Amino acid sequence: MAEMVIKNGVVYDPKNGVDGERNEICIKDGKIVDNVGAGAKVVDAEGCLVLPGGVDGHTHCAGKINTARIMSPHDMRYAPVAGLSGPEPRTKLLRPQVGYNTPNTHGIGYRYSKLGYTTIAEAAITPMMARHMHEEFESIPILDKLALVLLGSNWQVMQYIQDGDSEMLKSYMAWALLASRGYGVKIVNPGGGSNWTWGKNVSGLDDKVIDFDVTPADILVGLAEANEALNLPHSIHVHCNNLGIPGNITTTLATMKLLEKVKASQDRQVMHLTHMQFHSYTGTSWMDFASGSDQIADYMNSHDHLTFDMGQMIFGPAMTMTADGPTEYRNARMFDAKWSNYDQELEDAGGIVPLSYTPQHFAHATMWSIGLELALLVKDPWKVMFTTDNPNGGAFVNYPEAQVLLMSDKKRQEVIAGFPDMTMDRISLPNIDRELDWGEMTVMTRSMPAKMLGLDVKGHLGAGADADVAIYDVKPDKVDVSVEHEAVKKALSFAKYTIKGGEIVVQDGEIMALPKGKVYWVNAYENGIVQAEKDRLMTDLEERFKKYYSIQLSNYMVEDAYVPRPVEIRPEVA
Amino acid sequence: MPVIKDVVCTFCGCLCDDLEVTVEDNKITKVGKACKLGRAKTMGMFLHERIEKPMIRKNGKDSELEECSYDEAITKAAEILVAAKRPMSYGWCSTSCEAIEKAVVLAEETGSLLDSTANVCHGPSALATQEKGAPSCSLGTAKNYADLIIFWGCNPVHAHPRHQTRYSTMAKGAFTPNGKKDKKMVVVDPRNTDTAKKADLLLQLKPGSDYVLIESLRAIVNGHADILPDEIAGLPKAKVMELADMCKASKFGIIYFGMGITQTRGRYKSGDNVASLLSDLNQTNKFVMIGMRGHYNVTGFGQVAAWEAGFPMAIDFSRGSAYYNPGETGTNDVLMRREVDAFITGAADPGAHFPQESIKHLYKIPAIQVDGYANPTTEFSDVVIPAAIAGVECDGTAYRMDGQPIRMKKLIETTFKTDEEILTEIIAKVRELKGNGGA
Ligand code: SF4
Ligand SMILES: [Zn+2]
């Protein structure tokens, strides 16, 4: 493959200590290298911002989103973000695009690329549905992908924890990742998904799950320990119990404390907490509901075993989709909204409900503020990932909007000025004047997600990294983001260049090429589990498939045909 | 004798994946575990004859189909589609998702309308989903949990013969270890069907009054039984009350609904009201639904079309982007308006299932058929392209009625091209004819 050199850029590469320097970036065979020959293609960045390609470590982009598409033909025509939403006709190069919260697969690929993102992590898939997710992955062009596999209400998991059989738990976890070609372990409302099959939920860490003698706390600790015993690149990735309920901060803080006792197997967090905004509420009802971001931030600032992502809200229509089945039913009843539900045998629940967030409602205004407060009150950006929990808090095409909010107090105050008075004593955002700089923004959107996931070839521009680069039409040394936030938002929405694996895929905001992305997955089974334990697991699984599953064990695993460009990661065996 | 285990049956939406198929000399000689529909399908013993060679009519509809090469047939198909102003692509429900993906691309490149057999069966369920959502579960969940099973407007004994033993009435699951003994079964149908004979309760409602019955159940569940008349949907009120009581008494209930709901009076409004009933019932106990899809991969068409193009059916690509307005852009909508001037169908038989008005129009326009078997559609097709049978002669993906994808196996070798290959070649030819990469 041809060589390339990016010249005259202002480079931010926090992992390698580069903070706005005019370094050259050299690329060869899809990788960043130290130098290239004189014949290398020159990309002139003209003094613009050069960052590693964006990494979205938590998005709902394949699998459940398809039911959301079928539910919402109206979304296909909705185009609030010009150039990044709504119907667009095919071109010589591009397939037709539609949608805003739930774009078609091609729209997802093109639009993430236009934002300068090059890697996305589907945040919630059951092993049994992984085949479907991979079909959509294959249809999403350009981007590299990986999947977090739902295990927090899984019968096998709960059975082995109940039995105190940590070896079986480990074996099963490794096998589930293999069976689904998954990357990491996701836990949603631990135990609650199982109870939801009976139409019930759990109310906190210490409730008993109906059909197993375990609690959500047991599930979290059990899976975290197995995760670390397998030395998986990513930690457990957790959506806490009691999402979206006033007073849920008690459960969230208890979950954070609970994990203090588990030791990480490597230099990363022991647990990632997702969409923290939805879990940081004080109060006892919607009447006295308020932001608890200060308490969460205090804890995060004094502890180092956790990371989280924002789950920032974007005003306007959203599409909520989660394995948190009881939450979705509650949403549907509360807002008289349409409701889809899916209870996946032995594995997890799931629900989908369209919602709309408005700045005129104090509850939504408060939630919007909490996401930003969390990111701004936590001092170390390496503990915070930028997300909207796409499209639960808002569609990913709004990332530039929310990123600019983090960089401009002025813009925040403009929005807050429109909030109802009832919001003001519930939030602290008006008094926070921190504005993220480009280095911090680069951490939260690239370097931190890659580190949190344990993807060492992503999120930086050092030699050996994948040559995924985003160049934006922003002159960092000339622009005052605080004031010129609209211009910066526009620049972040349409990259000057997006380079994926050494190939220019976006130029001046237009798609130029459609390479196919890779799928990262973790094989901790082959070498990580001894044969005797593999046999023991298989004997048990054969029995369980006969009795409880509705498909054959031999038809369960995702076949190689669905992962044509895999990158298999084998963790070192401890 | 080589026996292939855990074979996926590609006949109905149950997509049973436990068949045992014996292959001798590249012939299937025995199919174990399947029901008789599945066995007939897998062994290729259909009433229809296999299409052996590509064929074209050289001199209009009245001339005979003449054998030709794949190349000729594919070129002719591409020419028809490129020359058309308002082409339509229809069917693609008894084939693999991989082929369906190609059907979407072909429709995009030719500015076609694209629709599936849902247009004449479960299309209204998709509309109901758009109105109220789809509270559902996997078939295995239903097997393990459901203590109340309602078959509404469907007759699994004949249409989905193994449904009751594998997933529903007779299936033994984690919380239903004794099978039928742990469950109650209700049938709602104007006919006393063979399925109804084993039911604990049969509600033989007046044809077309499903909506009234659903609405009445909602009234009872929400505590307004007193406002209901003594006769509901042709049934004594007491019987309706009995069903409502069974619903409330169950721990996990499920409604399996068929075309009796989606294709009778009320259509998608009935399905939409079922979803509302379920939402109400879930306040006290778990209740979900699953559509009894007929063609084994009609669910897959909806899935593929939704992720590729954004909509599950009735898509119009004539504007370059995908436009969707069922009622306007559904197959029979456009055929009856005589708007379509070329037609391609695959793995479906519109000739047997469409209303007379639509078929009349199909006899007037150039039509292309891609299929393994000859059927009434062959009679008006100008280009007939034989295809391998997915799940028998080639592998690929199919989606079960509950949305579970399963990989179909290739059981025997064939010289026929697959649907996917045929579509890929037509697409290449279309691009060549348009001479500009397509746009
Ligand atoms: S029930 Fe349906 S899928 Fe199962 S064997 Fe019979 S025809 Fe095939
Ligand atoms: Zn999420």
Phi-psi region of A438 (alpha: psi -120 to 50; beta: other; left: phi over 0): alpha
* Per-residue DSSP letter, B334: H
B chain contacts of residue A141, beta-carbon cutoff 8 Å: none
Whether the domain at B50-118+296-434 and the domain at B123-291 fall into the same CATH topology = no
**How many other CB atoms are found less than 10 A from the CB of residue B24?**
10
Mean pLDDT of B255-272: 79
Query: Percentage of residues in chain A with pLDDT exceeding 90?
Result: 99
Report pLDDT for B45: 64
Asked if residue A71 belongs to a domain, the reply is yes
CB-CB under 8 Å, A66 with B397: no
Per-domain boundaries in chain B: 3-45, 50-118+296-434, 123-291
- pLDDT value of position B159: 95
Report the distance separating Cα A496 and Cα A494, nearest Å.
6
Tens of pLDDT along chain A (574 residues) come to 589 999 999 999 999 999 999 999 999 999 999 999 999 999 999 999 999 999 999 999 999 999 999 999 999 999 999 999 999 999 999 999 999 999 999 999 999 999 999 999 999 999 999 999 999 999 999 999 999 999 999 999 999 999 999 999 999 999 999 999 999 999 999 999 999 999 999 999 999 999 999 999 999 999 999 999 999 999 999 999 999 999 999 999 999 999 999 999 999 999 999 999 999 999 999 999 999 999 999 999 999 999 999 999 999 999 999 999 999 999 999 999 999 999 999 999 999 999 999 999 999 999 999 999 999 999 999 999 999 999 999 999 999 999 999 999 999 999 999 999 999 999 999 999 999 999 999 999 999 999 999 999 999 999 999 999 999 999 999 999 999 999 999 999 999 999 999 999 999 999 999 999 999 999 999 999 999 999 999 999 999 999 999 999 999 999 999 999 999 999 998 7
Residue A59's alpha-carbon distances to A81, A119, A231, A505, in angstroms, are 19, 11, 24, 21
Give the per-residue pLDDT at A530.
Answer: 98
Q: Which two structure tokens, joined as six digits, stand for A59? A: 């998005």
- Would strands B315-316 and B323-324 be described as parallel, antiparallel, or unpaired? antiparallel
Structure confidence at residue B280 (pLDDT): 94
Quote the mean pLDDT of chain B.
Answer: 94
Q: What is A63-116 written as a DSSP string?
A: SHHHHHHHH-HHHHH---STTSSS-B---SSPPPB--SSS--HHHHHHHHHHTT
Is the bond preceding A391 in cis, omega lying within 30 degrees of 0?
A: yes
Topology annotation, domain B50-118+296-434 = Rossmann fold (3.40.50)
* CA–CA dist A90, B317 (Å, integer): 9
Chain B residues whose beta carbon lies within 8 Å of the beta carbon of residue A343: 137-138, 141, 145, 288
One-letter amino acid for residue B400 of the chain: R
Q: Taking residues B361-372, report their average pLDDT.
A: 97
pLDDT at B261: 73
Q: Which of helix, strand or coil describes residue B346?
A: strand
Residue A345 contacts residue A406 (beta carbons within 8 Å): no
Looking at residue B127, its pLDDT comes to 84
What is the residue type of A432?
I
The pairing of beta strand B323-324 with beta strand B65-67: unpaired
Residue nearest to atom 2 of ligand 1 (CA): B12
Q: Is residue B438 very low, low, confident or very high in pLDDT (cuts 50, 70, 90)?
A: very low
Helix axes B210-221, B237-249, angle to 10 degrees: 60
- Which CATH number does the domain housing residue A58 bear? 3.20.20
Contact A76 B275 (CB under 8 A): no
A476 neighbors A20 (Cβ within 8 angstroms): yes
Is B177 within 8 Å of chain A by CB?
A: no
Which whole-number Å values give the CA distances from A142 to A56, A100, B333, in the listed order? 14, 19, 37
- Quote the radius of gyration of chain A (alpha carbons, Å): 22
Residue corresponding to tokens 């197959």: B331
Percent of chain B having pLDDT more than 70? 97
| Interface touch A344/B251, C-beta < 8 Å | no
CA distance B74 to B426: 6
- The three state secondary structure string of A45-58 is CCCCEEEECEEEEE
| A574 domain residue, yes or no | no
Contacts of B438 (CB under 8 A, 6+ apart): A90, A92, B109, B430, B431
Q: Are A314 and A279 in contact (CB under 8 A)?
A: no
**Residues A116 and A52 sit within 8 Å (Cβ to Cβ):** no
Q: Which atom of ligand 1 is nearest to the CA of B15?
A: 3
| A555 contact residues in B (CB cutoff 8 A) | 6, 8, 17, 406-407
pLDDT band of residue B46 (cuts 50, 70, 90) is low
Structure tokens at A541: 């699984």
Which residues sit with their C-beta closer than 6 Å to ligand 1?
A: B 9, 11-12, 14-16, 34-35, 37-38, 160-162
Residue nearest to atom 8 of ligand 1 (CA): B38
**B283 shares contact with chain A (CB less than 8 Å):** yes
pLDDT digits (tens, 9 = 90+) for A212-247: 999 999 999 999 999 999 999 999 999 999 999 999
Is the pTM above the cut of 0.90? yes
Q: Name the band, by pLDDT with cuts 50, 70 and 90, for residue B118.
A: confident
Any bridge partners for residue A470, and if so which?
A: A51, A498
Look at B311 and A352 and tell me if their CB atoms are within 8 Å. Answer: no
- Over residues B158-173, the pLDDT tens digits come to 999 999 999 999 999 9
Rounded to 5 degrees, what are φ and ψ at B238? -55, -40
CB contact under 8 Å between A70 and B312, yes or no, is yes
User: Among A79-83, A383-387, B45-49, B95-99, where is mean pLDDT lowest?
Assistant: B45-49
Closest ligand by atom to A311 CA: 2
Strands (E), A224-350: 236-239, 271-273, 281-282, 290-291, 306-309, 316-322, 340-343
Q: How many angstroms separate the Cα of A153 from the Cα of each of A14, B161, B251?
A: 37, 32, 19
Whole-number pLDDT of residue B128: 82
Q: Which of B160, B167, B171, B166 is nearest to B195 (CA)?
A: B160
Is A341 in CB contact (< 8 Å) with chain B?
yes
What average pLDDT does range B22-31 have in this prediction?
A: 93
> Does A1 reside within a domain?
no
The full 3-state SS of B266-324, as one line of letters, equals CHHHHHHHHHHHHHHHCCCCEEEEEECCCECCHHHHHHHHHHHHCCCCCEECCCCCCEE
Q: What's the confidence (pLDDT) of residue A1? A: 57
Q: How far apart are CA B240 and CA B226, in angstroms?
A: 13
The chain A residue lying nearest B399, using CA atoms, is A132
How far, rounded to the nearest angstrom, does the alpha carbon of residue A208 sit from its chain's CA centroid?
A: 29
Paired tokens of B49? 């004859």
> Looking at residues B191-214, what average pLDDT do you find?
94
As beta bridge partners, residue B368 has B344, B383
Pick the CATH number of B123-291 from 3.20.20.150, 1.20.1250.20, 1.10.4080.10, 3.40.228.10: 3.40.228.10
Residue B141 and residue A70: Cβ atoms within 8 Å? no
**Average pLDDT of every residue of chain A:** 97
Q: Please, are residues B347 and B103 in contact by the beta-carbon 8 Å criterion?
A: no
Give B289's contacts (C-beta < 8 A, 6+ positions apart).
B134, B135, B136, B254, B255, B256, B257, B274, B275, B278
User: H-type helices in A163-215, by residue range?
Assistant: 166-180, 192-196
Interface test with B, best of A70, A320, A333 (most B CBs within 10 A): A70
Identity of the residue numbered A112: Y
In this prediction, residue A82 carries a pLDDT of 96
Structural domain of residue A352, as residue ranges?
Answer: 51-511
DSSP bridge partners of A189: none
Contact (Cβ atoms closer than 8 angstroms) between residue A525 and residue A185? no
pLDDT of residue B436: 62
Q: Which residues pair with B19 in a beta bridge?
A: B7
Overall domain count for chain A: 1
* Res B437 pLDDT > 70: no
Residue B127: closest C-alpha in chain A: A71
CA pair distance B346, B368, nearest whole angstrom: 8
